Structure 1
């Protein structure tokens, strides 16, 4: 954020934004002018060159001149508006379906930018979107494309963006010190916003992104290092090492399976830190199914024997319930008491008497963000285990840590990332990595089929369901799209599966369902009462259903490599043979390379390295890598070099006290400390 006076300006201060448009912007997560200006494009479309208007049909973007009067005809309940235009000196017709109101808005000689599908045989463009120049918005050859909804178009959003920039232009101040801007040859903040939303060239886009990403990463690194300095001063009491190791080793001996060498090394490394006087701050990252939870349970068993408590915070109630069931099965026979606390379950113990309301007396307390509630107290919280830490805010994580005196924190992550990136992103944490999978796990058989050849998919699905097994079916979007009908949606797939299998055997889950519906659908699948779960990629990191043996991903070319690997990891969690079917028609080289990478490797860390090389300039503004800290514009993988420069710059500014002492840092200092304080709340 830059400056402060304009950031909270209401959207209705922008000319042309009334209650209806404000509501549409709210639906996109845009609540004030600052949110709007930091709502960055997904990608940029470039006008189709004259030589690219080939003999083959395809999607085009072109500037057209209206050359005649629009005509309207009706057929089968639909209207068709045909507008004569000239593109690259070639006469054509622009076709608009069910938009007769546009007829009066076109005049001969008017310039338009048309987005649509070109038919060379008929010399027509079926228009999906069009733009007209205005007083403040000339037609540029590069068009930003934003994520929008049915209640607001890209064109309208760009008009609002332009008006907002004009309204606050004089108030856009740089908070980055002048010496940093000069040293790295960065454009001003105001110019960066103009170029990111209204570029004249792709060089503008590059320079704007470089500036905005650096500032975003620089702030992140300042936050990280300020937190690290605070943590470094903390101290705690040492533990009875003999009793701790007695508890953790008894857990390992009682397991019905052998731990991997990586798990044993991790337990030893983390145990040495836990029994010391400096609170542990560590990230335990491992591939899907690598056994991170077993490591956490071993530590909990040791702490229980030493008279201390462990809290395990999971991002969802479903996942917390799964951890609870596993803990009861594995730890209760050793005398470790376990409680489950979520917003739905006030308390649930497996031995002894239930604790008083608000009081946690058990050895291991498992739950959601409820564990950090001010209403809960702990007798001696020594370790906070946070599963998928990126799903929780800094404030919640800190609140849980402060439930004890000198509480150690262990973050679990199922998103394998290169070690160099982990050290840069999590500079306040030490990193432990699990690379091995349990020896009894079979490789997941991964196949690629095209959308025109799905017979084998349904054959495999029927065979596995007949065996009593379960399956996931994943789609890239929730609802069908009128513009791109070929892309499967979760709702459409659900209808198809219900028609094929019956409603009692199929469940649907996506992010726009309310929590109660979503939780019910998930519980029905986990309990085995439904056999097929149709979903979006929201299930990429979630519960472990041992009976699930099939993962079918439709539109697989639309997912990142890391997300595809995480989705594949939802199956293959037992000794049953498991399958991952990628239904995809990859057009570009990068999409093809992703599919090929997934077919050739099941090593998450190897795939993470390959993902780093595959994510080229065309994807810089695409979907973010799951499991990593969330940024508005920067991508920690693709923009790793900028992150490293931001880290070094932050270390220098804090190390020589420039951040605290120099007047040129005042605006940045006030802004960063204000943000840090708000995150702690």
Structure 2
């Protein structure tokens, strides 16, 4: 058998078991993985004239060694290697720290190229590496820097990539069809791989990056659009035939009128329910926009059509909160509803499961308890997942598979700009509630420096005297040696001492056991605690209308969208509410972000600003966002390419020849799509 691009990296010389394991940890298993493990940046190591160099700039200097290399030792494991080069008639001091092994490379009188950081005041260079000698290797102008780990150095990765390219470059697949390469003026993928790893100019690197980004966006979008077409074309979705008059009566009976945005979203969802197609919809709504009532209308419509619904939420507190509010709506209508969580007692749980399986229950609200093996439905028609990013793909699938292709509605309070949502969640339909209900009292937001915290405490105490409650948020649980930020444990102790016997202070953080967290949240909800000191675990949590003050320490360490989510924990009742951001921003951008928070309460506006200022990683906070993780492409910086790829993918998937034309065979192979006949695909 000949060599293949999907051969294990272990076929390369010098890749033993340990090195293979180190590569595997980086997501590199095959030769193709290795060639796709692109540098995340480049060092410009072109030799520069002394007069062109700025202070603290990383540069390459080349000259002749004019002094012996001397190693000085200080401390048990520290050393300093010093020597001098003559460059353009100037004598420059060179220092390497903890690299005494380089001494043998420094030969008096020989030419030497050194890469390091320039100190303009001292006319000296702190060496990073020796690039070449008159008798050694020549240097390139750009050095590729790779993501590495303890098991393998980035220099070793570069050498392995070089070997892999030399031996396998002719097998690198060309996924982008020729017509798209011509349309977007893209180089071949083979050239792009070379240009990414071994660029000789910025232009070569730029052209390589354009092709690599478009290809990975195209492959991603093709998977999404193929899935979307499969879902739409299958035609095996449920047809939930609710009575329109009954649904209208239910909506009319609500104690408030729906906003225009809620009405629009309700129409979109209810139209999906009645269609025989499978619903796969994402509902976005800002904090307090009324997603729960929209979900309630969908639940009622499903029950009216004699189907069952499941509403899965990430915490018991949230499940109980939904149970309480939905029971008030449904009990008078004899819609049968139950709550199932990890805390449900054995006897009660057995009764609930029996009624669910027998069809005596219309709606079940619960946590992960809903996806246990012994949970069976009689006629599951609708699955709603609240804060969908808090659940894994498999967890959501387990619940969905408990019915025969039930309609699916995901809900999230993390605002994502519409264009980005459509492009990144391309397999779903997207509904957005972009309007807040009338009558909501705006949250007054201010920001202050840490030196004014005494005034913040005084303001908070005035609110506590009125019978209200307060949150105090910190970025860390415990003290950190590396970060100069406030921690929850320290603040909890200080506030407990400050308020002494006047007010009870509680502590909540992610290291606590679930039962402990639930207990603290219950105490706060029942007003047994006046102040709750917490990390961001309360970002999505219980509804406490009596909490009117939100204090966020080190607010400049959070993204705007996360700050907005935290702010949304207050302002849920009829009292005026306040959010105080305590921050000491070190940059103009940091100050601008604090000002933006005080100027708008619109989560979608803030998410747009976050995208501009910080990028997608900070906007969505953690890897739980469900957004794709591209190797090179940036969904914000390269949004134009992402949108172009989406449009091209949609056209390809809807082209009857896509699954049968030989010119798309490599693309189909890379996507893992089976070759179907034109008749089967349509």
Q: Please, what TM-score do these two structures have when normalized by structure 2? A: 0.76
> 1:290 maps to which residue?
289
State the distance in 1 between where 2:506 and 2:29 align: 41
State the distance in 1 between where 2:270 and 2:555 align: 44
SS at match of 1:185: coil
> 1:216 maps to which residue?
216
Determine whether 1:186 maps to 2:186.
yes
State the distance in 2 between where 1:555 and 1:94 align: 42
Asked whether the equivalents of residues 240 and 305 of structure 2 are also in contact (C-alpha less than 8 Å), the reply is no
Q: Name the CA shift for 1:302/1:236 in 2 (closer, same or farther; >3 Å).
A: closer
State the distance in 2 between where 1:588 and 1:296 align: 42
What are the residue-to-residue correspondences of 1:342-381 with 2, within 5 Å?
344=342, 353-356=351-354, 359=357, 361=359, 362-367=361-366, 371=370, 376-381=375-380
Q: Name the CA shift for 1:333/1:96 in 2 (closer, same or farther; >3 Å).
A: farther
SS at match of 1:659: coil
> 2:521 maps to which residue?
526
State the distance in 2 between where 1:60 and 1:545 align: 53
> 2:502 maps to which residue?
none
Query: Deviations 1:69-109 (Å, cap 9, x if unpaired)?
Result: 1432426x673414346598665555555x26545465244
1:493 to 478, 487, 490: 487
Q: Name the CA shift for 1:23/1:614 in 2 (closer, same or farther; >3 Å).
A: same
SS at match of 2:634: coil
> 1:236 maps to which residue?
238
State the distance in 1 between where 2:323 and 2:455 align: 36
1:296, distance to aligned residue in structure 2 (A) = 0.7
Residue ranges of structure 1 left out of the alignment (5+ in a row)? none
1:674, distance to aligned residue in structure 2 (A) = 4.8
SS at match of 1:670: helix
Q: Name the CA shift for 1:508/1:284 in 2 (closer, same or farther; >3 Å).
A: closer
State the distance in 2 between where 1:605 and 1:552 align: 21
> 1:382 maps to which residue?
381
SS at match of 1:531: strand
Q: Name the CA shift for 1:454/1:229 in 2 (closer, same or farther; >3 Å).
A: same
Asked whether the equivalents of residues 137 and 162 of structure 1 are also in contact (C-alpha less than 8 Å), the reply is no
Q: Name the CA shift for 1:522/1:454 in 2 (closer, same or farther; >3 Å).
A: same
1:241, distance to aligned residue in structure 2 (A) = 0.8
Q: Name the CA shift for 1:240/1:294 in 2 (closer, same or farther; >3 Å).
A: closer
Q: Name the CA shift for 1:96/1:152 in 2 (closer, same or farther; >3 Å).
A: farther
Query: Deviations 1:160-181 (Å, cap 9, x if unpaired)?
Result: 5555555643432223333333
Query: Deviations 1:275-330 (Å, cap 9, x if unpaired)?
Result: 45444343321223322123112321343344321122345677556645655566
2:116 to 99, 109, 114: 114
Asked whether the equivalents of residues 240 and 307 of structure 2 are also in contact (C-alpha less than 8 Å), the reply is no
State the distance in 2 between where 1:656 and 1:72 align: 70
CA RMSD of aligned residues (A): 4.8
Q: Name the CA shift for 1:665/1:336 in 2 (closer, same or farther; >3 Å).
A: same
State the distance in 2 between where 1:179 and 1:583 align: 52
> 2:262 maps to which residue?
263
Q: Name the CA shift for 1:662/1:457 in 2 (closer, same or farther; >3 Å).
A: farther
State the distance in 1 between where 2:274 and 2:162 align: 58
After TM superposition, the structure 1 stretch with the greater mean CA deviation from structure 2, 665-674 or 565-574, is: 565-574
2:57 to 55, 60, 63: 60
> 1:653 maps to which residue?
652
> 2:680 maps to which residue?
none
State the distance in 2 between where 1:314 and 1:269 align: 22
Asked whether the equivalents of residues 568 and 580 of structure 1 are also in contact (C-alpha less than 8 Å), the reply is no
Asked whether the equivalents of residues 550 and 571 of structure 1 are also in contact (C-alpha less than 8 Å), the reply is yes
1:660, distance to aligned residue in structure 2 (A) = 1.3
> 2:452 maps to which residue?
456
Asked whether the equivalents of residues 223 and 676 of structure 1 are also in contact (C-alpha less than 8 Å), the reply is no
Asked whether the equivalents of residues 474 and 554 of structure 1 are also in contact (C-alpha less than 8 Å), the reply is yes
Asked whether the equivalents of residues 570 and 577 of structure 2 are also in contact (C-alpha less than 8 Å), the reply is no
Query: Deviations 1:602-652 (Å, cap 9, x if unpaired)?
Result: 21222344455557xxx69x7675546313133333333222322232233
What are the residue-to-residue correspondences of 1:36-47 with 2, within 5 Å?
36-44=34-42, 46=44
Q: Please, what TM-score do these two structures have when normalized by structure 1? A: 0.76
Q: Name the CA shift for 1:463/1:229 in 2 (closer, same or farther; >3 Å).
A: same
Q: Name the CA shift for 1:316/1:498 in 2 (closer, same or farther; >3 Å).
A: closer
2:629 to 631, 635, 646: 631
1:120, distance to aligned residue in structure 2 (A) = 4.2
Query: Deviations 1:313-349 (Å, cap 9, x if unpaired)?
Result: 345677556645655566557544444556x568889
Q: Name the CA shift for 1:298/1:47 in 2 (closer, same or farther; >3 Å).
A: farther
State the distance in 2 between where 1:347 and 1:187 align: 64
SS at match of 2:57: strand
Query: Deviations 1:222-257 (Å, cap 9, x if unpaired)?
Result: 22332232332425345241575178438x63x5x7
Residue ranges of structure 2 left out of the alignment (5+ in a row)? 498-504, 677-682
SS at match of 1:661: coil
1:35, distance to aligned residue in structure 2 (A) = 5.0
1:661, distance to aligned residue in structure 2 (A) = 1.9
> 2:641 maps to which residue?
642
State the distance in 2 between where 1:676 and 1:637 align: 34
1:665, distance to aligned residue in structure 2 (A) = 0.9
Asked whether the equivalents of residues 315 and 392 of structure 1 are also in contact (C-alpha less than 8 Å), the reply is yes
Greater C-alpha radius of gyration: 2
After TM superposition, the structure 1 stretch with the greater mean CA deviation from structure 2, 137-146 or 292-301, is: 137-146
1:382, distance to aligned residue in structure 2 (A) = 1.6
Asked whether the equivalents of residues 316 and 368 of structure 1 are also in contact (C-alpha less than 8 Å), the reply is yes
Determine whether 1:310 maps to 2:304.
no
After TM superposition, the structure 1 stretch with the greater mean CA deviation from structure 2, 135-144 or 595-604, is: 135-144
SS at match of 1:648: helix
State the distance in 1 between where 2:520 and 2:242 align: 43
1:145, distance to aligned residue in structure 2 (A) = 6.2
Q: Name the CA shift for 1:675/1:655 in 2 (closer, same or farther; >3 Å).
A: closer
Asked whether the equivalents of residues 560 and 619 of structure 2 are also in contact (C-alpha less than 8 Å), the reply is no
Asked whether the equivalents of residues 358 and 375 of structure 1 are also in contact (C-alpha less than 8 Å), the reply is no
Q: Name the CA shift for 1:507/1:425 in 2 (closer, same or farther; >3 Å).
A: closer
State the distance in 2 between where 1:88 and 1:443 align: 65
State the distance in 2 between where 1:380 and 1:413 align: 26
What are the residue-to-residue correspondences of 1:386-401 with 2, within 5 Å?
386-389=385-388, 397=396, 400-401=399-400
